Amino acid sequence: MHKHNIQAFARAAKWPIMEYGAPNFLLTKDIIQQLRELPYLERWKISIANQWYHILLEDHSFLTFSSTPNSDSFAFLQCPLEIPTQREFIKDLDLPFNSKTVDTLKEDYQMVMDTATQKSNITPIRYDYDEKGYNCGIHPVSHIHIGLDNDIRLSFSKRLTSTSFSLFVMRQMYPESWKRILEHQDSKRLQKAIRHNCTPLEEHHWKDDDKIELHFV
């Protein structure tokens, strides 16, 4: 479903998607609990090793989507290592980027990954729709976290979709892709995916104190 919803936008933007995850992959509570107990680097490594993602990008960052009737958790985990993409690695060798060179240089590229150093800064992004955790004016029911080890919660007046979140990530983290999508996509269709397809919050989750702070949508 996530692939179907984002694919046309990704093509127009030439968003550097390496692959989509398995169609039947579900981010279960057990997986979420296991990952939350780990440091960020280990969380990323285990997710990559087990293919626990819905969209894997060429820079080895990935997105996951988890939803229930009363909650959502969409995440972008930026790659924490200084790794060139396969495309960049092969280009630096003055070789054509195709399936043959990717396969031939697979072990060489894996060595680059295994010996890569950690980035000094990373910017993961997570969206939560959390009815149980809602606290008027303090903990918005619909919000985005940016970065690590902080209390940032950017409030939304609507419940986002996985597509609107993906496009938010594209805009913030892949500006060249965003530039291309503005050039090649109908603006009304794009606005529909970003805003109009999102469900306005119900009044009991969007009270006066929630509206005081600067918020999105």
> What is the C-alpha to C-alpha distance for residues 18 and 20, in angstroms, rounded to an integer?
7
Q: Which residues of 82-120 are buried (b: 16+ CB within 10 A; e: fewer)?
A: ebbbbeebbeeeeeeeeeeeeeebeeebeeeeeeeeeee
Please state, rounded to an integer, the average pLDDT across all residues of the chain: 94
Q: What are the tens digits of pLDDT across the range 49-72?
A: 999 999 999 999 999 999 999 999
pLDDT for residue 149: 87
pLDDT digit string, tens, across residues 5-16: 899 999 999 999
Q: Report pLDDT digits (tens) over 128-178.
A: 999 999 999 999 999 999 999 899 999 999 999 999 999 999 999 999 999
